[in-house]
Structure 1
Amino acid sequence: MEYLLELAASPTAWIALATLVAMEIVLGIDNLIFISILTNKLPVEFRSKARKIGISMALIMRLALLSTVAWIVQLTDPVIEILGNAFSWKDMILIAGGLFLLWKATKEIHESVDPHGAKEEAKVSTTVTLGFAAAIFQILLLDIVFSVDSIITAVGMTEHLPIMIIAVVAAVIVMMVAADPLANFINDNPTVVMLALGFLIMIGMTLIAEGFGAHVPKGYVYAAMAFSTAIEMLNIFARRARLKREAAQG
Protein backbone atom coordinates (compact mmCIF):
# COMPACT_ATOMS: atom_id res chain seq x y z
CA MET A 1 0.00 0.00 0.00
CA GLU A 2 2.85 2.36 0.86
CA TYR A 3 4.39 1.63 -2.54
CA LEU A 4 1.16 2.66 -4.31
CA LEU A 5 0.91 5.85 -2.25
CA GLU A 6 4.47 6.76 -3.24
CA LEU A 7 3.59 6.26 -6.89
CA ALA A 8 0.46 8.38 -6.52
CA ALA A 9 2.52 11.21 -5.05
CA SER A 10 5.16 11.07 -7.77
CA PRO A 11 4.77 13.50 -10.73
CA THR A 12 7.10 11.28 -12.77
CA ALA A 13 4.77 8.32 -12.27
CA TRP A 14 1.78 10.37 -13.47
CA ILE A 15 3.67 11.51 -16.56
CA ALA A 16 4.69 7.92 -17.30
CA LEU A 17 1.07 6.79 -16.82
CA ALA A 18 -0.33 9.46 -19.15
CA THR A 19 2.28 8.66 -21.81
CA LEU A 20 1.70 4.92 -21.53
CA VAL A 21 -2.10 5.26 -21.67
CA ALA A 22 -1.81 7.38 -24.83
CA MET A 23 0.56 4.85 -26.38
CA GLU A 24 -1.68 1.90 -25.53
CA ILE A 25 -4.71 3.66 -27.01
CA VAL A 26 -2.84 4.46 -30.23
CA LEU A 27 -1.57 0.88 -30.50
CA GLY A 28 -5.12 -0.30 -29.85
CA ILE A 29 -6.37 1.46 -33.01
CA ASP A 30 -4.78 -1.25 -35.15
CA ASN A 31 -6.53 -3.96 -33.19
CA LEU A 32 -9.84 -2.09 -33.20
CA ILE A 33 -9.86 -1.74 -37.00
CA PHE A 34 -9.30 -5.48 -37.35
CA ILE A 35 -12.04 -6.26 -34.82
CA SER A 36 -14.49 -3.94 -36.60
CA ILE A 37 -13.96 -5.53 -40.01
CA LEU A 38 -14.07 -9.04 -38.58
CA THR A 39 -17.26 -8.66 -36.51
CA ASN A 40 -19.13 -6.76 -39.25
CA LYS A 41 -19.34 -10.08 -41.13
CA LEU A 42 -21.41 -11.59 -38.33
CA PRO A 43 -25.22 -11.32 -38.15
CA VAL A 44 -26.21 -7.90 -36.76
CA GLU A 45 -27.51 -9.30 -33.47
CA PHE A 46 -24.13 -10.93 -32.70
CA ARG A 47 -21.75 -8.14 -33.68
CA SER A 48 -21.72 -6.06 -30.49
CA LYS A 49 -21.60 -9.19 -28.32
CA ALA A 50 -18.64 -10.54 -30.28
CA ARG A 51 -16.73 -7.25 -29.89
CA LYS A 52 -17.37 -7.08 -26.15
CA ILE A 53 -16.41 -10.72 -25.55
CA GLY A 54 -13.32 -10.46 -27.75
CA ILE A 55 -12.08 -7.25 -26.16
CA SER A 56 -12.87 -8.51 -22.62
CA MET A 57 -10.94 -11.73 -23.19
CA ALA A 58 -8.13 -9.68 -24.70
CA LEU A 59 -8.00 -7.63 -21.47
CA ILE A 60 -7.76 -10.82 -19.39
CA MET A 61 -4.99 -12.10 -21.65
CA ARG A 62 -3.03 -8.83 -21.45
CA LEU A 63 -3.25 -8.77 -17.66
CA ALA A 64 -2.10 -12.39 -17.59
CA LEU A 65 0.86 -11.48 -19.80
CA LEU A 66 1.71 -8.55 -17.51
CA SER A 67 2.02 -11.00 -14.64
CA THR A 68 4.82 -12.66 -16.60
CA VAL A 69 6.70 -9.48 -17.52
CA ALA A 70 10.07 -11.02 -16.66
CA TRP A 71 9.39 -13.82 -19.15
CA ILE A 72 7.99 -11.44 -21.80
CA VAL A 73 11.16 -9.32 -21.69
CA GLN A 74 13.23 -12.42 -22.43
CA LEU A 75 11.33 -12.83 -25.72
CA THR A 76 13.69 -10.25 -27.21
CA ASP A 77 16.70 -12.57 -26.76
CA PRO A 78 17.79 -14.26 -30.04
CA VAL A 79 16.80 -17.93 -30.22
CA ILE A 80 17.51 -18.80 -33.86
CA GLU A 81 19.78 -17.61 -36.64
CA ILE A 82 18.88 -17.82 -40.34
CA LEU A 83 21.29 -16.70 -43.07
CA GLY A 84 23.23 -14.64 -40.57
CA ASN A 85 20.12 -12.93 -39.14
CA ALA A 86 19.22 -13.59 -35.50
CA PHE A 87 15.54 -13.86 -34.62
CA SER A 88 13.92 -13.72 -31.18
CA TRP A 89 10.50 -15.06 -30.20
CA LYS A 90 9.20 -11.50 -30.41
CA ASP A 91 10.49 -11.19 -33.99
CA MET A 92 8.83 -14.45 -35.02
CA ILE A 93 5.54 -13.46 -33.35
CA LEU A 94 5.57 -10.11 -35.19
CA ILE A 95 6.34 -11.78 -38.53
CA ALA A 96 3.59 -14.36 -38.03
CA GLY A 97 1.12 -11.64 -37.02
CA GLY A 98 2.08 -9.51 -40.01
CA LEU A 99 1.63 -12.41 -42.42
CA PHE A 100 -1.76 -13.18 -40.85
CA LEU A 101 -2.86 -9.55 -41.33
CA LEU A 102 -1.69 -9.54 -44.95
CA TRP A 103 -3.56 -12.77 -45.66
CA LYS A 104 -6.74 -11.63 -43.91
CA ALA A 105 -6.81 -8.14 -45.48
CA THR A 106 -6.07 -9.50 -48.97
CA LYS A 107 -8.81 -12.11 -48.58
CA GLU A 108 -11.32 -9.44 -47.48
CA ILE A 109 -10.37 -7.17 -50.41
CA HIS A 110 -10.78 -10.08 -52.83
CA GLU A 111 -14.25 -10.83 -51.46
CA SER A 112 -15.20 -7.16 -51.73
CA VAL A 113 -14.19 -6.65 -55.36
CA ASP A 114 -14.91 -10.09 -56.84
CA PRO A 115 -18.44 -9.99 -58.34
CA HIS A 116 -18.68 -13.80 -58.38
CA GLY A 117 -17.74 -13.87 -54.69
CA ALA A 118 -20.44 -11.31 -53.98
CA LYS A 119 -23.07 -13.50 -55.71
CA GLU A 120 -21.98 -16.53 -53.75
CA GLU A 121 -22.00 -14.54 -50.52
CA ALA A 122 -25.60 -13.55 -51.17
CA LYS A 123 -26.53 -17.23 -51.31
CA VAL A 124 -24.65 -18.24 -48.19
CA SER A 125 -25.61 -17.36 -44.64
CA THR A 126 -23.36 -14.86 -42.92
CA THR A 127 -23.11 -17.24 -40.00
CA VAL A 128 -21.56 -19.84 -42.32
CA THR A 129 -19.19 -17.24 -43.81
CA LEU A 130 -17.76 -16.40 -40.43
CA GLY A 131 -18.73 -18.19 -37.24
CA PHE A 132 -19.02 -16.43 -33.89
CA ALA A 133 -16.35 -18.62 -32.29
CA ALA A 134 -14.03 -18.10 -35.26
CA ALA A 135 -14.33 -14.32 -34.90
CA ILE A 136 -13.45 -14.47 -31.20
CA PHE A 137 -10.54 -16.79 -31.90
CA GLN A 138 -9.09 -14.50 -34.58
CA ILE A 139 -9.49 -11.44 -32.34
CA LEU A 140 -7.52 -13.17 -29.58
CA LEU A 141 -4.94 -14.50 -32.04
CA LEU A 142 -4.07 -11.05 -33.32
CA ASP A 143 -4.28 -9.50 -29.88
CA ILE A 144 -1.43 -11.78 -28.77
CA VAL A 145 0.79 -10.09 -31.36
CA PHE A 146 -0.17 -6.56 -30.33
CA SER A 147 -0.05 -7.46 -26.62
CA VAL A 148 3.51 -8.77 -26.72
CA ASP A 149 4.65 -5.71 -28.68
CA SER A 150 2.90 -3.19 -26.42
CA ILE A 151 4.02 -4.85 -23.18
CA ILE A 152 7.66 -4.90 -24.25
CA THR A 153 7.32 -1.23 -25.18
CA ALA A 154 5.67 -0.51 -21.82
CA VAL A 155 8.51 -2.19 -19.95
CA GLY A 156 10.91 0.13 -21.75
CA MET A 157 8.92 3.17 -20.56
CA THR A 158 8.37 2.31 -16.90
CA GLU A 159 9.42 -0.31 -14.37
CA HIS A 160 6.26 0.02 -12.27
CA LEU A 161 3.78 -2.80 -12.82
CA PRO A 162 0.74 -0.88 -11.39
CA ILE A 163 1.27 1.83 -14.01
CA MET A 164 1.34 -0.80 -16.77
CA ILE A 165 -1.85 -2.43 -15.47
CA ILE A 166 -3.73 0.88 -15.22
CA ALA A 167 -2.60 1.87 -18.73
CA VAL A 168 -3.73 -1.45 -20.22
CA VAL A 169 -7.11 -1.34 -18.46
CA ALA A 170 -7.68 2.29 -19.53
CA ALA A 171 -6.80 1.51 -23.16
CA VAL A 172 -9.11 -1.52 -23.25
CA ILE A 173 -11.97 0.52 -21.76
CA VAL A 174 -11.51 3.09 -24.55
CA MET A 175 -11.51 0.24 -27.09
CA MET A 176 -14.72 -1.13 -25.57
CA VAL A 177 -16.46 2.26 -25.80
CA ALA A 178 -15.22 3.01 -29.33
CA ALA A 179 -15.74 -0.49 -30.79
CA ASP A 180 -19.42 -0.20 -31.76
CA PRO A 181 -19.36 3.38 -33.13
CA LEU A 182 -16.24 2.66 -35.20
CA ALA A 183 -17.59 -0.65 -36.51
CA ASN A 184 -20.94 0.93 -37.42
CA PHE A 185 -19.19 3.79 -39.21
CA ILE A 186 -17.05 1.36 -41.21
CA ASN A 187 -20.09 -0.77 -42.03
CA ASP A 188 -22.16 2.23 -43.21
CA ASN A 189 -19.41 3.52 -45.50
CA PRO A 190 -18.15 0.88 -47.97
CA THR A 191 -15.22 3.04 -49.10
CA VAL A 192 -14.04 3.23 -45.49
CA VAL A 193 -13.93 -0.58 -45.41
CA MET A 194 -11.43 -0.58 -48.27
CA LEU A 195 -9.41 2.15 -46.57
CA ALA A 196 -9.37 0.16 -43.32
CA LEU A 197 -8.22 -2.95 -45.18
CA GLY A 198 -5.43 -0.87 -46.69
CA PHE A 199 -4.45 0.14 -43.14
CA LEU A 200 -4.31 -3.53 -42.15
CA ILE A 201 -1.98 -4.29 -45.06
CA MET A 202 0.27 -1.39 -44.04
CA ILE A 203 0.26 -2.53 -40.41
CA GLY A 204 1.01 -6.11 -41.48
CA MET A 205 4.00 -4.97 -43.55
CA THR A 206 5.20 -2.87 -40.60
CA LEU A 207 5.04 -5.87 -38.27
CA ILE A 208 6.99 -8.02 -40.75
CA ALA A 209 9.61 -5.30 -41.22
CA GLU A 210 10.07 -4.96 -37.45
CA GLY A 211 10.29 -8.74 -37.15
CA PHE A 212 13.22 -8.63 -39.57
CA GLY A 213 14.92 -5.90 -37.54
CA ALA A 214 13.92 -2.84 -39.59
CA HIS A 215 12.59 -0.20 -37.21
CA VAL A 216 9.58 1.64 -38.63
CA PRO A 217 8.73 4.83 -36.67
CA LYS A 218 5.11 4.50 -35.54
CA GLY A 219 4.62 8.24 -36.00
CA TYR A 220 5.02 7.90 -39.78
CA VAL A 221 2.53 5.05 -39.93
CA TYR A 222 -0.14 6.80 -37.89
CA ALA A 223 0.44 10.11 -39.68
CA ALA A 224 -0.23 8.35 -43.01
CA MET A 225 -3.36 6.74 -41.54
CA ALA A 226 -4.59 10.08 -40.18
CA PHE A 227 -3.99 11.83 -43.53
CA SER A 228 -5.82 9.10 -45.48
CA THR A 229 -8.70 9.20 -43.00
CA ALA A 230 -8.97 12.99 -43.33
CA ILE A 231 -9.14 12.72 -47.14
CA GLU A 232 -11.81 10.01 -46.90
CA MET A 233 -13.86 12.15 -44.48
CA LEU A 234 -13.79 14.99 -47.03
CA ASN A 235 -14.99 12.55 -49.69
CA ILE A 236 -17.83 11.40 -47.42
CA PHE A 237 -18.91 14.99 -46.74
CA ALA A 238 -18.76 15.75 -50.48
CA ARG A 239 -20.91 12.71 -51.32
CA ARG A 240 -23.50 13.63 -48.69
CA ALA A 241 -23.65 17.22 -49.95
CA ARG A 242 -24.12 15.98 -53.53
CA LEU A 243 -26.91 13.61 -52.50
CA LYS A 244 -28.68 16.44 -50.65
CA ARG A 245 -28.48 18.67 -53.74
CA GLU A 246 -29.81 15.89 -55.96
CA ALA A 247 -32.65 15.21 -53.50
CA ALA A 248 -33.54 18.93 -53.37
CA GLN A 249 -33.51 19.20 -57.17
CA GLY A 250 -35.55 16.05 -57.57
Structure 2
Amino acid sequence: MGGFFAEYFGFINDPTAWVALITLIAMEVVLGIDNLIFISILTNKLPKENQKMARRLGIGAALIMRLILLATISFIVQATTPVFTLFGNSFSWRDLILIAGGLFLVWKATKEIHHTVDPIDKEDKSAIGQTVQLTMGAAVFQILLLDLVFSVDSIITAVGMTDEIAIMYIAVIFAVTVMLIAAEPLANFIDKNPTIVMLALGFLLMIGMTLIADGMGYHVPKGYIYSAMGFSALVEGLNMLARRKKRVDGNKH
Protein backbone atom coordinates (compact mmCIF):
# COMPACT_ATOMS: atom_id res chain seq x y z
CA MET A 1 0.00 0.00 0.00
CA GLY A 2 2.83 2.34 0.95
CA GLY A 3 4.58 1.63 -2.34
CA PHE A 4 1.40 2.40 -4.30
CA PHE A 5 0.91 5.68 -2.42
CA ALA A 6 4.55 6.66 -2.91
CA GLU A 7 4.37 5.84 -6.64
CA TYR A 8 1.19 7.73 -7.46
CA PHE A 9 0.89 10.36 -4.72
CA GLY A 10 4.51 11.13 -3.94
CA PHE A 11 3.98 14.58 -5.50
CA ILE A 12 2.09 15.71 -2.34
CA ASN A 13 5.34 16.85 -0.73
CA ASP A 14 6.54 18.60 -3.91
CA PRO A 15 5.51 22.31 -4.15
CA THR A 16 6.28 22.33 -7.88
CA ALA A 17 3.81 19.49 -8.42
CA TRP A 18 1.10 21.46 -6.58
CA VAL A 19 1.68 24.41 -8.91
CA ALA A 20 1.38 22.03 -11.88
CA LEU A 21 -1.85 20.60 -10.43
CA ILE A 22 -3.48 24.02 -9.92
CA THR A 23 -2.38 25.20 -13.36
CA LEU A 24 -3.61 22.01 -15.03
CA ILE A 25 -6.98 22.19 -13.25
CA ALA A 26 -7.40 25.77 -14.50
CA MET A 27 -6.44 24.73 -18.03
CA GLU A 28 -8.82 21.74 -18.00
CA VAL A 29 -11.71 23.88 -16.75
CA VAL A 30 -11.09 26.49 -19.47
CA LEU A 31 -10.82 23.80 -22.17
CA GLY A 32 -14.08 22.31 -20.87
CA ILE A 33 -15.95 25.56 -21.65
CA ASP A 34 -15.94 24.70 -25.38
CA ASN A 35 -17.46 21.30 -24.71
CA LEU A 36 -20.01 22.73 -22.27
CA ILE A 37 -21.25 25.39 -24.73
CA PHE A 38 -21.81 22.71 -27.38
CA ILE A 39 -23.62 20.41 -24.93
CA SER A 40 -25.84 23.28 -23.71
CA ILE A 41 -26.90 24.37 -27.22
CA LEU A 42 -27.50 20.82 -28.40
CA THR A 43 -29.49 19.61 -25.38
CA ASN A 44 -31.67 22.75 -25.39
CA LYS A 45 -33.14 21.46 -28.66
CA LEU A 46 -34.47 18.35 -26.88
CA PRO A 47 -37.85 18.14 -25.13
CA LYS A 48 -37.65 19.67 -21.63
CA GLU A 49 -38.00 16.33 -19.87
CA ASN A 50 -34.95 14.91 -21.68
CA GLN A 51 -32.56 17.85 -21.43
CA LYS A 52 -31.14 17.22 -17.96
CA MET A 53 -30.59 13.50 -18.64
CA ALA A 54 -28.86 14.23 -21.98
CA ARG A 55 -26.53 16.75 -20.31
CA ARG A 56 -25.61 14.27 -17.58
CA LEU A 57 -25.04 11.50 -20.10
CA GLY A 58 -22.89 13.77 -22.26
CA ILE A 59 -20.73 15.03 -19.40
CA GLY A 60 -20.54 11.57 -17.83
CA ALA A 61 -19.35 10.21 -21.18
CA ALA A 62 -16.72 12.98 -21.32
CA LEU A 63 -15.40 11.89 -17.91
CA ILE A 64 -15.32 8.18 -18.85
CA MET A 65 -13.65 8.94 -22.19
CA ARG A 66 -10.94 11.08 -20.59
CA LEU A 67 -10.24 8.49 -17.88
CA ILE A 68 -9.95 5.76 -20.54
CA LEU A 69 -7.59 7.95 -22.57
CA LEU A 70 -5.50 8.57 -19.46
CA ALA A 71 -5.32 4.81 -18.90
CA THR A 72 -3.93 4.46 -22.44
CA ILE A 73 -1.58 7.39 -22.06
CA SER A 74 1.18 5.74 -24.13
CA PHE A 75 -1.18 5.56 -27.12
CA ILE A 76 -2.15 9.22 -26.70
CA VAL A 77 1.51 10.26 -26.68
CA GLN A 78 2.05 8.25 -29.89
CA ALA A 79 -1.01 9.97 -31.42
CA THR A 80 1.19 13.03 -31.98
CA THR A 81 3.64 11.03 -34.15
CA PRO A 82 3.25 11.87 -37.88
CA VAL A 83 1.58 9.08 -39.88
CA PHE A 84 1.76 10.66 -43.35
CA THR A 85 2.85 13.81 -45.16
CA LEU A 86 0.72 15.85 -47.56
CA PHE A 87 1.84 19.00 -49.43
CA GLY A 88 4.88 19.24 -47.18
CA ASN A 89 2.83 19.05 -43.94
CA SER A 90 3.03 16.07 -41.58
CA PHE A 91 -0.22 14.81 -40.07
CA SER A 92 -0.66 12.71 -36.92
CA TRP A 93 -3.78 10.94 -35.63
CA ARG A 94 -4.27 13.88 -33.26
CA ASP A 95 -4.21 16.29 -36.21
CA LEU A 96 -6.78 14.22 -38.10
CA ILE A 97 -9.07 14.03 -35.05
CA LEU A 98 -8.83 17.81 -34.55
CA ILE A 99 -9.56 18.53 -38.23
CA ALA A 100 -12.54 16.15 -38.27
CA GLY A 101 -13.87 17.64 -35.03
CA GLY A 102 -13.36 21.19 -36.29
CA LEU A 103 -15.23 20.44 -39.52
CA PHE A 104 -18.07 18.89 -37.55
CA LEU A 105 -18.26 21.93 -35.25
CA VAL A 106 -18.27 24.37 -38.19
CA TRP A 107 -21.00 22.34 -39.95
CA LYS A 108 -23.10 22.06 -36.78
CA ALA A 109 -22.76 25.73 -35.81
CA THR A 110 -23.53 26.89 -39.37
CA LYS A 111 -26.60 24.66 -39.48
CA GLU A 112 -27.86 25.98 -36.12
CA ILE A 113 -27.26 29.61 -37.18
CA HIS A 114 -29.25 28.93 -40.36
CA HIS A 115 -32.15 27.54 -38.32
CA THR A 116 -32.00 30.57 -36.01
CA VAL A 117 -31.94 33.36 -38.60
CA ASP A 118 -33.83 31.85 -41.56
CA PRO A 119 -37.45 33.07 -41.45
CA ILE A 120 -40.04 30.28 -41.56
CA ASP A 121 -43.62 30.67 -42.74
CA LYS A 122 -46.22 29.86 -40.12
CA GLU A 123 -47.67 27.02 -42.15
CA ASP A 124 -44.21 25.46 -42.56
CA LYS A 125 -43.15 25.68 -38.92
CA SER A 126 -44.65 22.41 -37.77
CA ALA A 127 -43.19 20.40 -40.64
CA ILE A 128 -39.74 21.93 -40.32
CA GLY A 129 -39.85 21.66 -36.55
CA GLN A 130 -40.09 17.90 -36.86
CA THR A 131 -36.87 17.72 -38.84
CA VAL A 132 -35.05 20.17 -36.56
CA GLN A 133 -36.17 18.39 -33.37
CA LEU A 134 -33.40 16.16 -32.07
CA THR A 135 -33.88 12.72 -30.60
CA MET A 136 -32.16 11.76 -27.36
CA GLY A 137 -29.95 9.23 -29.17
CA ALA A 138 -28.88 11.69 -31.87
CA ALA A 139 -28.00 14.34 -29.27
CA VAL A 140 -25.94 11.93 -27.14
CA PHE A 141 -24.17 10.59 -30.27
CA GLN A 142 -23.16 14.10 -31.40
CA ILE A 143 -22.01 14.95 -27.87
CA LEU A 144 -19.88 11.79 -27.82
CA LEU A 145 -18.23 12.76 -31.13
CA LEU A 146 -17.21 16.16 -29.77
CA ASP A 147 -16.27 14.64 -26.40
CA LEU A 148 -13.69 12.53 -28.22
CA VAL A 149 -12.13 15.58 -29.93
CA PHE A 150 -12.04 17.72 -26.79
CA SER A 151 -10.86 14.77 -24.67
CA VAL A 152 -7.86 14.09 -26.92
CA ASP A 153 -6.94 17.80 -26.84
CA SER A 154 -7.42 17.88 -23.07
CA ILE A 155 -5.26 14.81 -22.37
CA ILE A 156 -2.45 15.93 -24.70
CA THR A 157 -2.46 19.28 -22.85
CA ALA A 158 -2.19 17.40 -19.56
CA VAL A 159 0.69 15.24 -20.83
CA GLY A 160 2.55 18.37 -21.94
CA MET A 161 2.27 19.94 -18.47
CA THR A 162 3.17 17.11 -16.08
CA ASP A 163 4.50 13.54 -15.92
CA GLU A 164 2.47 12.66 -12.80
CA ILE A 165 -0.46 10.45 -13.79
CA ALA A 166 -2.24 11.13 -10.47
CA ILE A 167 -2.16 14.89 -11.14
CA MET A 168 -3.74 14.29 -14.55
CA TYR A 169 -6.53 12.17 -13.04
CA ILE A 170 -7.28 14.72 -10.30
CA ALA A 171 -7.34 17.64 -12.77
CA VAL A 172 -9.62 15.81 -15.24
CA ILE A 173 -12.07 14.66 -12.54
CA PHE A 174 -12.18 18.15 -11.00
CA ALA A 175 -12.73 19.84 -14.39
CA VAL A 176 -15.54 17.47 -15.41
CA THR A 177 -17.17 17.93 -11.98
CA VAL A 178 -17.18 21.69 -12.58
CA MET A 179 -18.76 21.05 -16.00
CA LEU A 180 -21.46 18.92 -14.36
CA ILE A 181 -22.27 21.66 -11.82
CA ALA A 182 -22.23 24.47 -14.41
CA ALA A 183 -24.16 22.63 -17.15
CA GLU A 184 -27.67 23.30 -15.84
CA PRO A 185 -27.25 27.04 -15.07
CA LEU A 186 -25.45 27.66 -18.37
CA ALA A 187 -28.08 25.81 -20.43
CA ASN A 188 -30.91 27.68 -18.66
CA PHE A 189 -29.15 31.02 -19.19
CA ILE A 190 -28.66 30.31 -22.91
CA ASP A 191 -32.28 29.16 -23.23
CA LYS A 192 -33.66 32.33 -21.59
CA ASN A 193 -31.49 34.72 -23.61
CA PRO A 194 -31.90 34.17 -27.38
CA THR A 195 -29.09 36.59 -28.28
CA ILE A 196 -26.69 34.47 -26.22
CA VAL A 197 -27.50 31.51 -28.48
CA MET A 198 -26.14 33.37 -31.52
CA LEU A 199 -23.06 34.47 -29.57
CA ALA A 200 -22.43 30.90 -28.40
CA LEU A 201 -22.83 29.59 -31.97
CA GLY A 202 -20.29 32.19 -33.07
CA PHE A 203 -17.93 30.85 -30.39
CA LEU A 204 -18.42 27.31 -31.72
CA LEU A 205 -17.60 28.49 -35.25
CA MET A 206 -14.41 30.13 -34.00
CA ILE A 207 -13.46 27.05 -31.96
CA GLY A 208 -14.12 24.81 -34.97
CA MET A 209 -11.88 26.91 -37.21
CA THR A 210 -9.21 26.92 -34.50
CA LEU A 211 -9.30 23.11 -34.28
CA ILE A 212 -8.93 22.86 -38.08
CA ALA A 213 -6.02 25.33 -38.07
CA ASP A 214 -4.35 23.45 -35.21
CA GLY A 215 -4.76 20.15 -37.05
CA MET A 216 -3.23 21.72 -40.17
CA GLY A 217 -0.18 22.79 -38.17
CA TYR A 218 -1.08 26.46 -37.60
CA HIS A 219 -1.26 26.79 -33.83
CA VAL A 220 -3.41 29.65 -32.54
CA PRO A 221 -2.63 30.50 -28.86
CA LYS A 222 -5.65 29.63 -26.69
CA GLY A 223 -5.22 32.94 -24.84
CA TYR A 224 -6.22 34.88 -27.96
CA ILE A 225 -9.32 32.73 -28.46
CA TYR A 226 -10.57 33.00 -24.90
CA SER A 227 -9.75 36.72 -24.72
CA ALA A 228 -11.92 37.29 -27.81
CA MET A 229 -14.70 35.15 -26.32
CA GLY A 230 -14.48 37.01 -23.00
CA PHE A 231 -14.61 40.41 -24.70
CA SER A 232 -17.62 39.38 -26.81
CA ALA A 233 -19.39 38.04 -23.72
CA LEU A 234 -18.69 41.30 -21.88
CA VAL A 235 -20.15 43.39 -24.74
CA GLU A 236 -23.23 41.15 -24.88
CA GLY A 237 -23.58 41.48 -21.10
CA LEU A 238 -23.61 45.27 -21.42
CA ASN A 239 -26.23 44.99 -24.20
CA MET A 240 -28.40 42.81 -21.95
CA LEU A 241 -28.15 45.36 -19.12
CA ALA A 242 -29.08 48.16 -21.54
CA ARG A 243 -32.12 46.22 -22.80
CA ARG A 244 -33.22 45.44 -19.25
CA LYS A 245 -32.93 49.11 -18.26
CA LYS A 246 -35.07 50.12 -21.28
CA ARG A 247 -37.75 47.61 -20.27
CA VAL A 248 -37.76 48.90 -16.68
CA ASP A 249 -37.98 52.53 -17.87
CA GLY A 250 -40.76 51.59 -20.29
CA ASN A 251 -42.77 49.93 -17.54
CA LYS A 252 -42.44 53.04 -15.36
CA HIS A 253 -43.95 55.18 -18.10
TM-score bin, normalised by smaller chain: over 0.9
The letter for the 2-side match of 1:226 is G
Identify the residue that residue 147 of structure 1 maps to in structure 2: 151
Give me the TM-score of the superposition, normalised by structure 2.
0.94
| Partner Cα distance (2:132, 2:102) in 1 | 26
Identify the residue that residue 112 of structure 2 maps to in structure 1: 108
Identify the residue that residue 14 of structure 1 maps to in structure 2: 18
Matches within 5 A, 1:84-95: 84-95=88-99
| Partner Cα distance (2:197, 2:183) in 1 | 15
C-alpha deviation, 1:111, in angstroms: 0.4
Identify the residue that residue 186 of structure 2 maps to in structure 1: 182
The letter for the 2-side match of 1:158 is T
Matches within 5 A, 1:57-206: 57-116=61-120, 120-123=124-127, 129-206=133-210
C-alpha deviation, 1:124, in angstroms: 5.7
Tell me the percent identity: 63
Q: Which residue of 26, 35, 39 maps to 1:35?
A: 39
Contact (CA 8 Å) 2:84, 2:90: kept in 1 or not? yes
Identify the residue that residue 207 of structure 1 maps to in structure 2: 211
C-alpha deviation, 1:83, in angstroms: 1.8
| 1:240 aligned onto 2:240 | no
C-alpha deviation, 1:129, in angstroms: 1.6
SS of the residue 2:91 aligns to: strand
Contact (CA 8 Å) 1:36, 1:179: kept in 2 or not? yes
Contact (CA 8 Å) 1:101, 1:204: kept in 2 or not? yes
Aligned residues: 249
Identify the residue that residue 55 of structure 1 maps to in structure 2: 59
Identify if the C-alpha distance between structure 1 residues 118 and 227 changes in structure 2 by more than 3 Å, giving closer, same or farther.
Answer: farther
Q: Unpaired segments of 5 or more residues in structure 1?
A: none
CA root-mean-square deviation: 1.6
C-alpha deviation, 1:106, in angstroms: 0.2
| Partner Cα distance (1:84, 1:128) in 2 | 41
C-alpha deviation, 1:92, in angstroms: 0.6
The letter for the 2-side match of 1:194 is M
C-alpha deviation, 1:2, in angstroms: 2.1
SS of the residue 1:41 aligns to: coil
The letter for the 2-side match of 1:229 is A
Contact (CA 8 Å) 2:94, 2:215: kept in 1 or not? yes
Deviations, residues 6-37 of structure 1 (Å, cap 9, x unaligned): 21111111111100000000000000000000
Contact (CA 8 Å) 2:103, 2:208: kept in 1 or not? yes
Deviations, residues 20-57 of structure 1 (Å, cap 9, x unaligned): 00000000000000000000000111111110111011
C-alpha deviation, 1:143, in angstroms: 0.9
Q: Unpaired segments of 5 or more residues in structure 2?
A: none
The letter for the 2-side match of 1:116 is I
The letter for the 1-side match of 2:140 is I
Give me the TM-score of the superposition, normalised by structure 1.
0.96
- Bigger Cα displacement from structure 2, 110-119 vs 69-78: 110-119
| Partner Cα distance (1:118, 1:172) in 2 | 41
C-alpha deviation, 1:85, in angstroms: 1.6
Q: Which residue of 214, 220, 226 maps to 1:216?
A: 220
| Partner Cα distance (1:194, 1:105) in 2 | 9
| Partner Cα distance (1:119, 1:135) in 2 | 27
Contact (CA 8 Å) 2:113, 2:201: kept in 1 or not? yes
| Partner Cα distance (2:150, 2:126) in 1 | 34
